[in-house]
Chains A and B, each alone.
Chain A
């Protein structure tokens, strides 16, 4: 019964592709909303983290630790970007992380 249902599904899919053709996505087609959202997602996170550098001295040790952790979690996502974006944003992220870690160390050393 299960095999018959699978065969029927495959046959219907093949018939559909013959009748309506295989969809073609041109190279310059804009990404779907879902993909665009995923792309923006890392940038939103990046901006949210790095917008806090100005306040770093006013943040608590726990808040600073959380920000360092968020930087570390974001890094692999930026590493998956194309070469130029990766170069630019990894450097920017590193500057934010280094500042938070520096302030944290200063506060803990007091």
Chain B
């Protein structure tokens, strides 16, 4: 009996350690917003794709990828294939070897090569591979204004200071739009008396997302017609579609609950 208890305690400790180690890994700033895409990769003999949101969000608006290119808002939801990329859709909309960014041609995704190694598959299909990335998070983050949690970057300040200038239009994919007329900010009362109300800024959200990223798929409701709960948000609904995944995490309460209590 005594030995059994020891084994159980040891087992519980190992499991607890594994949980903590996993949580710590996902809390690393460079890994925040990382998406592993593995719909078909392993069947094709390739490692799953490691997609780092920090790199792409520093260069492009959310809407460009999630509306104009058509990427789903859920990891793995797009079901990207090598064939679609080669046809110039999804990753291939930009990664086609021809489109240029900052004076450099963007490498082609899923291009044909004599050998897989030559084709450069591992630039994206890199999970558990020792791939040296062209863009170093630590170098990038050094130049950025800091904010606790998430990627550790104050993205809004970075844009305001002109340190990033996310592209919102790509030729042949996006359409010319008029500039957005943002709706007014509004306040959402907290469900508990001790928490400040949320001040929701349409302007801040619309500048990167446009309208159709959020409405009606994520927010199919009219203002004030529903009581949001943190349980639902924590489970990945409403604000939780982006916050806690790519946008700053939910534990940064005061960044949304910023209204006055009195």
Taking a contact as CB atoms closer than 8 A, the residue among B89, B176, B212, B222 that contacts A53 in the complex is B212
B103 within 8 A of partner (CB): no
User: Closest residue of chain B to A98, judged by CB?
Assistant: B216
The size of the chain B interface, using a CB distance under 8 A, is 24
A64 within 8 A of partner (CB): no
| Interface of B: prevailing SS | loop
Q: Is the CB of A109 within 8 A of B181?
A: no
Q: How large is the interface on A (under 10, 10 to 19, 20 to 34, 35 or more residues)?
A: 20 to 34
Fill in one digit per residue for B140-179: 1 if any A CB lies within 8 Å of its CB, else 0: 0000000000000000000000000000000000011111
- Taking Cβ atoms with an 8 Å cutoff, the residues of B that contact A are 67-68, 70, 83-84, 87, 89-90, 175-181, 183, 210-212, 215-217, 220, 222
Write 23 A-B pairs (CB below 8 A) sorted by A numbering: A47-B176, A51-B175, A51-B177, A53-B210, A53-B211, A54-B177, A54-B178, A54-B210, A55-B181, A56-B211, A84-B83, A84-B84, A88-B90, A91-B70, A92-B70, A96-B212, A98-B215, A98-B216, A98-B217, A99-B215, A101-B216, A103-B215, A105-B222
A53-B212, A55-B178 given; 19 more Cβ-contact pairs under 8 Å: A47-B175, A50-B175, A51-B177, A53-B177, A54-B177, A56-B211, A84-B89, A87-B70, A88-B70, A92-B70, A95-B212, A98-B212, A98-B216, A99-B212, A99-B216, A101-B216, A102-B215, A102-B216, A106-B222
